[in-house]
Amino acid sequence: GEQVEQRPPHLSVREGDSAIIICTYTDSATAYFSWYKQEAGAGLQLLMSVLSNVDRKEEQGLTVLLNKKDKRLSLNLTAAHPGDSAVYFCAVRAYQGGRALIFGTGTTVSVSP
Amino acid sequence: AQTIHQWPVAEIKAVGSPLSLGCTIKGKSSPNLYWYWQATGGTLQQLFYSITVGQVESVVQLNLSASRPKDDQFILSTEKLLLSHSGFYLCAWSPGTTNTEVFFGKGTRLTVV
């Protein structure tokens, strides 16, 4: 089945810097990709989703890149601010037996002033 | 707008005691519903999914069960809690099974002592 790896596990950046998180997946048939943000003790907030026919998507200081050839998905937090401090998860949509999402292992992002 | 509500917010339960967690989705008819479990500091693992009332499929066996008694309600339960059941339980919904966004509730924090 689909496997998703995410790196780095931890990321510390200064306010105004960029933070990049990368996920790799194994199933070339995967067609839907999402990024979620989880603040301490909270549920998951959907940040952005892309279909496999999209290479790049930008919204509100976030950039998602999809490289289908390398099966790599990335999230770039441009000009990070302290409010971006959270755990970020990538997720790919899977269809085996009705499974909804397969998640990466998460990246803890800390943004210092 | 659709809303998803989980209850309770948190529970502290004794090993061997029963458990019932609930989830309600408003504003969307016939949603696909999902239960996820997250160990402290870990990633998310799908437990169950339901496409329609009365039908629930298990993805991972963790000595838990789920039911969908109404179109907008999803229940997670067990008759005997184990220490390993501790964690964060998240309910989620999506409008379909293929390339659609998945939205999460705020979760229930379960501590088994």
pLDDT tens per residue across span B34-85:
999 999 889 999 999 999 999 999 988 789 999 999 999 999 999 999 999 9
Residue with tokens 């292992």: A105
Q: What is the mean pLDDT of residues A48-70?
A: 93
Do B68 and B76 touch, CB atoms closer than 8 A?
A: no
Choose the mutation target among A93, A102, A108 for the interface with B, i.e. most B CBs under 10 Å: A93
DSSP, res B9: S
User: Cβ A97–B57 below 8 Å, yes or no?
Assistant: yes
Within 8 A of B34 by CB-CB distance, chain A residues are 100
pLDDT value of position B50: 94
User: Cβ A43–B106 below 8 Å, yes or no?
Assistant: yes
State yes or no: pLDDT of A17 exceeds 90: yes
Do A97 and A112 touch, CB atoms closer than 8 A?
A: no
Interface of B with A (CB under 8 A): 6, 32, 34, 42-46, 49, 51, 57, 59, 90, 92, 94, 97-107, 109
pLDDT tens per residue across span A92-105:
986 655 667 899 99
Cis amide bond preceding A82, omega within 30? no
User: Cβ A98–B42 below 8 Å, yes or no?
Assistant: no
Q: Spell out the residues 6+ positions from residue B61 whose beta carbon is closer than 8 angstroms to its own.
A: none
